[in-house]
Chains A and B, each alone.
Chain A
């Protein structure tokens, strides 16, 4: 009885019903979509770097150290000596160390001097490693590997020559045009700052500054022998990342680094710092959550309005049903069933829309905001949300249902027009 009548009745008011379903679907899509983006942004951010236990650099702000080492934002006040790096690296508790040398840019993208450890050990989003689209790890002085965004933006291919600019200000006018690099590899997209950087060897970083000891090019011609990798001596680094053999040793190691006597250096635990940093900017997350809750309430209101406004014009219908043997409870459940059906269809359509929308905005979010959103099955939490939305929407139908119930009690078999 309910199925037949509800279906026919909704079909009769198909335009209103459709609008109602669409409005619920829209709220469901927005709510789940915002949730996914929220989680994606947080996961993406806090997983920009993983498996690294400590980041070590010159004493200064911990946040600053995190920003320039991992996100390539801002710069270090001081560099550290290579001897420091070598000494800490030789500590038996260290599993691996990745040196980082910063200071130059390529057309606005950061140049990172590092060694093969970066390509072999750096991890993000859990256990993802840096992978090559094409090419190999740079080994010679003037070889460079570029991130996927850099390659995409300038249409670079392996073999292209590039010239690096001196300094990190966006309008850098001094270029290392005496020492062009050759692209020998392009990295796969990672949706992390890696995509927006170019990677050269530590030797390359030293070599482009030969004759720049005063801060500007001296103009002298450098003997090509000096550019040979084995002839280049590295003197300083910006920072380095380490992984310890045992997690338990991390805090002790951090303390000993903070008290390192030969040079003022400090260590931060990236996972912790990322978490702290997200919390300071996390109010955005709260606002998003709030917005999505309001969107949902709006959806529930649309059901309430659609059904409630129809109650009076359906008073007659309810009296007829009662004359045919329906009880007031039947009338109540008929209305509730209608709202339930509307919300249910809205939820289904909303989920379909969600996947449709994800499919289309995913590449855009990845390239523009580095938010990585995998197309996954609905999570348990999302199913709970859907359940809650279903209940909320059906509850909104409760008010018209109660109204119809009271009407039918009052009217009995008298037809009110």
Chain B
């Protein structure tokens, strides 16, 4: 069992006869860092929602860490996501009414198992804050942060509790060149330390140099 994510003959349709996703085979090994090239309009959101267990495949298999998601009910899929997956959005990752530290600790609050693996949530939050260079911002309101800072906080939040999979959905596309580079450097540093499975989605092909392998969504999604 060395696959982190595995899709087989996977199809998804919001309505009958209008498949938005049709993937024969997609496998990502544990500890791999994968660049998923996905320009908009190629079923990118659908694929990520399937892997995260928010949506359920219409047919075929989606396995995450050896678990067949089609055999799990919604609440079990929500639990699996909360426990094993860290998720970074393109923009507006943070809950506006929580502080930086509260945002980072939030996954542990929502999923108890995520917290269980930690002896000290506070200590790990502080360690992440330290290594992502957020030290001066701990008590700041998240609305006072720059976009670059916000994305780093989002990164710290995805990493807390050491989830096995990190899904980053265009995390750098709202950043300028300098922040972009800095974010990638920090993310790669963390990967070196923890060797989680990293699924990085972007339409910016220049970023693929950071990764072990590149998958092109337009190529594997036969439908569109």
The reply on B119 being an interface residue by CB < 8 A is no
Please report the C-alpha to C-alpha distance between residue A330 and residue B78 in the assembled complex, in whole angstroms. 10
CB-based contact A415/B91 at 8 Å? yes
The reply on B135 being an interface residue by CB < 8 A is no
A-B pairs, 3 with minimum CB distance = A325-B82, A12-B97, A412-B54
CB-based contact A327/B74 at 8 Å? yes
Interface size class of B (residues with CB under 8 A): 20 to 34
Interface hit among A216-224, A225-233, A314-322, A379-387? A314-322
CB-based contact B110/A1 at 8 Å? yes
CB-based contact B89/A320 at 8 Å? yes
The reply on B63 being an interface residue by CB < 8 A is no
Residues of A at the B interface (CB closer than 8 Å) are 1, 4-5, 8-9, 11-13, 316-317, 319-330, 412-415, 417
Please report the C-alpha to C-alpha distance between residue A330 and residue B45 in the assembled complex, in whole angstroms. 22
CB-based contact B93/A320 at 8 Å? yes
CB-based contact A413/B49 at 8 Å? yes
Residues of B at the A interface (CB closer than 8 Å) are 45, 48-49, 52, 54-55, 74-75, 78-79, 81-83, 87, 89-98, 102, 106-107, 109-111, 114, 157, 169
Chain A residue contacts of B75, Cβ below 8 A:
327, 329
CB-based contact B93/A412 at 8 Å? no
Given contacts A1-B109, A12-B96, A323-B89, contact A413 B78 (CB under 8 A): no
- Extra inter-chain contacts (17) besides given A320-B89, A320-B92, A325-B107, CB under 8 Å: A11-B97, A319-B89, A320-B95, A321-B95, A323-B52, A324-B87, A325-B78, A325-B82, A325-B110, A326-B82, A326-B110, A327-B75, A413-B48, A413-B49, A414-B45, A414-B49, A415-B91
Partner of B81, one of A8, A319, A325, A329: A325
Q: Which of B83, B92, B97, B169 has the most CB of A within 10 A?
A: B97
Given contacts A12-B97, A415-B90, contact A324 B52 (CB under 8 A): no
Return B157 CB to nearest CB of chain A, in Å.
8
Please report the C-alpha to C-alpha distance between residue A277 and residue B42 in the assembled complex, in whole angstroms. 79
Q: Which of B90, B110, B169 has the most CB of A within 10 A?
A: B110
Measured CB to CB, the nearest residue on chain A to B49 is A412
Chain B residue contacts of A326, Cβ below 8 A:
78, 82, 110
Chain A residue contacts of B102, Cβ below 8 A:
8
CB-based contact B94/A320 at 8 Å? yes
CB-based contact A413/B87 at 8 Å? yes
Please report the C-alpha to C-alpha distance between residue A324 and residue B157 in the assembled complex, in whole angstroms. 9
Chain A residue contacts of B97, Cβ below 8 A:
8-9, 11-13
Given contacts A317-B95, A413-B54, contact A324 B45 (CB under 8 A): no
Chain A residue contacts of B81, Cβ below 8 A:
323, 325
Return A18 CB to nearest CB of chain B, in Å.
15
CB-based contact A412/B94 at 8 Å? no
CB-based contact A327/B52 at 8 Å? no
CB-based contact B96/A317 at 8 Å? yes
Measured CB to CB, the nearest residue on chain B to A323 is B87
Measured CB to CB, the nearest residue on chain A to B111 is A325
